[in-house]
Amino acid sequence: MLAVLTGPVRSGKSQRAVTLALGSGRPVVVAVGGSADDAEMARRIAKHQAERPEEMTVIETARDPGWKEHVAPEACLLIDCLGSVLGAELVGLAEGDASLADATAEERADAIAASLVEWITARKAPTVVVTNEVGWGVVPASALGRLFRDVMGRANRALVDAADAAWLVVAGRAMPLHTRIQEVSWPTTE
């Protein structure tokens, strides 16, 4: 079972994801990608840790490139969040905006994202993915920001397409995305 919760920051995704993961009845492994590089980020991480039940095992993906090997096949995996986990995997891709101007930068980033999405969707045990919708407004000022936004958009779409259940969480409200898919068309007057 794959469940995806997407939406903006601070919308309530993580809280709902923890509830889903605990409801699996399996040991829960949480994969997090953030690292405490400054005091503000350290506070954010501490807040998440305080809100997360103690029985969950946490893997810091930014510190452990081989983190996937430490996820027991029978455990429920909670990725919180895809943006930070994928960001940690993309860090080595660029050595500045000049390397991102290369025509293959997006292809390399998409390959990294596709590999992660493929690994997630191939899991047999329950998996819950928290992810952010990063492209809802301002065009990032840097080439790396634009690349990340584009790669995340495609990764989110691939995960939701593969998910058994998916929700858009906005302002504390979860709206199902896994219900009937509706094609976009002009309304009829009949």
171 torsion bin: left (phi>0), alpha (psi -120 to 50), beta (else) = left
Instruction: Kindly tell me if the per-residue pLDDT of 24 is higher than 80.
Output: yes
Separation between Cα atoms, residue 139 and residue 144, nearest integer Å: 11
Q: Say if 190 falls within a structural domain.
A: no
| 143-178: pLDDT as tens digits | 888 889 999 999 999 999 999 999 999 999 999 997
Give the domain range for residue 78.
Answer: 2-176
Overall number of domains in the chain: 1
* pLDDT for res 174: 94
Instruction: Kindly tell me if the per-residue pLDDT of 98 is higher than 60.
Output: no
Q: Find the helix or strand (DSSP H, E) in which 173 lies.
A: strand 173-176
pLDDT (average), residues 85-93: 84
Q: pLDDT tier at 49 (50, 70, 90 boundaries)?
A: confident
Q: Which residues form the catalytic set?
A: 48
Q: Say if 48 falls within a structural domain.
A: yes
Give φ, ψ of 106 to 5 degrees: -65, -40
Task: Please report, for the domain that includes residue 155, its CATH number.
Answer: 3.40.50.300
Q: pLDDT tier at 180 (50, 70, 90 boundaries)?
A: low
Q: Say if 183 falls within a structural domain.
A: no
Residue 176 pairs in a beta bridge with 167
Q: Which residues contact 99 (CB under 8 A, 6 or more apart)?
A: 93, 105
Q: Whole-prediction pTM value? A: 0.89
Q: Say if 189 falls within a structural domain.
A: no
Q: Say if 185 falls within a structural domain.
A: no
